[in-house]
């Protein structure tokens, strides 16, 4: 394999990134000065990045609205946030597959606090099985549900949040993924929705700039973040992610909070993983084949399509037991 070209391009792109990067990380004092008494709406707040955001924002005096499906988990996060000194914390139990109802999350926030300074749209569904080897993923109702959660509800939140954010000169952060820039074997549904997110919200960034709007928007181009739920899912699948490619959830949340002030168009994290992936994906064709081989499982191959489905059906029971990010997946009765 000839890695000379991608390695050179990677070195150039990383060097330029660090040379042209915005200001260095902000101090705790700077964050507290900026965030105290600001109203932050966090969607997907009962676990993972959203939960960690809530804890860190509480330490800076922000007023919080925490949204997720599972009220019991929200109550646990709220208890932790209050212990950290937060005095103004509200929770909303809501399923973002109800796209039209998403506007109610914004309306309730305004009813409680009279304003909105920051929107963090972080909820997601993460089906993690080969599309052709997973019969449930091929059902139209399931496909539509994943798009409602991963794309349409984010758009609905942005539409209804914008008037309030313009009044406060606020900021929006949308959690996307490296899966929105390239594709991954076994993640067709997730990748397609993240590509849709990137297409819509990067275009919306341009519209906001053209309007000279006081509202700015950051897209989170995230790789693998070692949240508890995602780590369990990977372990259940026997997938091991090397340390250099693994992002720390606390560091990721801190970077998102800093983006409220620095307002970059994109927050890339973890940086090394992202730039290696981008360079290899676009400039080294054999990288695609290497990734496919690394993630093959018994349900993905067979003497024919029906043999593949038969093998996958046996794994479907295992799929039901997995905890998908933010609780959206085959296990409809559980999750966040």
Tell me, rounded to whole angstroms, the distance of Cα 116 from its chain centroid: 21
Q: Taking residues 118-128, report their average pLDDT.
A: 90
Please state which of the ranges 19-28, 149-158, 298-307 shows the lowest mean pLDDT: 298-307
Q: Taking residues 81-99, report their average pLDDT.
A: 94
185 is catalytic: no
Mean pLDDT value across the chain: 80
- From 190, 260, 269, 273, the catalytic residue: 190
The string of DSSP codes covering 217-237 is EEEEEE-EE--HHHHHHHHHT
User: Model pTM?
Assistant: 0.79
Question: According to CATH, what is the number of the domain 26-327?
Answer: 3.40.50.720
Question: What pLDDT score was predicted for residue 322?
Answer: 39
Sign of CA dihedral 132, 228, 288, 178: positive
Nearest to 106 by CA among 197, 43, 14, 32: 43
Q: What is the pLDDT of residues 218-260, one digit of tens each?
A: 999 998 787 776 666 655 656 666 666 678 899 999 999 999 9
Cα 336 to Cα 96, 144, 186, 222, 237, distances in angstroms: 11, 19, 23, 21, 21
């Amino acid at each position: 394999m000839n890695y000379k070209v991608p390695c050179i391009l990677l070195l150039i792109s990383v060097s330029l990134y660090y040379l042209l990067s915005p200001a260095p990380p902000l101090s705790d004092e700077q964050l507290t000065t900026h965030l105290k008494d600001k109203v932050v709406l966090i969607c997907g707040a009962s676990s993972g990045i959203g939960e960690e955001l809530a804890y860190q924002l509480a330490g800076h005096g922000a007023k919080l609205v925490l949204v997720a499906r599972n009220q019991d988990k929200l109550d646990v996060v709220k208890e932790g946030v209050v212990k950290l000194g937060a005095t103004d914390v509200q929770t909303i139990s809501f399923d973002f597959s109800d796209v039209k109802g998403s506007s109610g999350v914004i309306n309730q926030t305004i009813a409680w606090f009279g304003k909105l300074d920051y929107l963090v749209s972080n909820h997601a569904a993460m089906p993690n099985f080969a599309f052709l080897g997973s019969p449930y993923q091929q059902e139209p109702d399931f496909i539509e549900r994943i798009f409602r959660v991963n794309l349409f509800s984010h758009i609905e939140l942005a539409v209804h949040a914008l008037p309030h954010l313009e009044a406060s000169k606020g900021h929006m952060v949308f959690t996307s993924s490296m899966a929105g820039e390239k594709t991954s074997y076994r993640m067709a549904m997730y990748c397609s929705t993240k590509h849709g997110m990137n297409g819509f919200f990067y275009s919306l960034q341009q519209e906001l700039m053209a309007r000279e709007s006081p509202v700015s928007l950051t897209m989170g181009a995230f790789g693998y973040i070692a949240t508890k739920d995602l780590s369990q899912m990977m372990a259940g699948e026997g997938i091991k992610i090397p340390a250099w490619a693994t992002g720390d959830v606390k560091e990721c949340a801190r970077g998102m909070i800093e983006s409220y002030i620095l307002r970059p168009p994109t927050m890339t994290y973890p940086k090394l993983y992202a730039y290696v992936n981008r360079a290899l994906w676009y400039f080294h064709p054999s990288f695609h084949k290497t990734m496919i081989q690394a993630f093959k499982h018994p349900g993905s191959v067979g003497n024919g399509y029906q043999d593949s489905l038969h093998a996958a059906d046996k794994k479907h029971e295992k799929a039901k037991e997995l905890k998908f990010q933010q609780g959206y997946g085959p296990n409809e009765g559980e999750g966040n």
